[in-house]
Structures are given as structure tokens and as C-alpha cells.
Amino acid sequence: MSNRYDNLIAEKERLECKINQQKTRLQLKRNSENNIKRKKRTRSLIQKGALLEKYFDVAHLSVNETESFLSHFSGHIKNEMPERFKQRNTPV
């Protein structure tokens, strides 16, 4: 009886260890996916910032000045934006 009990305890510990390993793998996968998304977004922001500097010649402006510059024109740009550039609301 004691031997069977010891076997069950050992099996329980082995399974708990396996569960913890799977949880760790899942968390690592989620972290990796989040890291990839973050890197893609960072790259996109850098590219858009470079385009902003290229086409509007605002490299000499500070962040606050750039924001003020953009806010000055944002109303006009939003109103005159061609349909193909407008954000589409896609169902989830």
C-alpha cells in the first residue's frame, strides 16, 4: 500500500513538473509573439517618422514643434483625405 502511495506521489510531482514546463513554454511563446509585434510597430514608426521628415522638411523641429505642426494641418488632411487612405472599419 505504501509503495503504491509513493508511486502516486511521484507521478503527481512528475505531472506537476510537466504542467509547469508547458506553462513556461506557453509564456515564452507569448513573449516572443509580443516582441515580434513590438519590433514591427517600432520599425513602422521609424519609417513613418523618416517619411514625415523627408516630405515636410521638419527634421530641425523638436517633438513638441512637430506635434504642433501636424495638429495645424490635421483637420484639413482628415477632411481632404482620399477614400483609399482612410481607415476601414473591419468586423472582428
pLDDT in tens, 10-40: 999 999 999 999 999 999 999 999 999 999 9
Entry pTM: 0.63
**In angstroms, what CA-CA distances link 16 with 21, 22, 26, 27, 76?**
9, 10, 15, 16, 61
pLDDT in tens, 35-60: 999 999 999 999 999 999 999 999 99
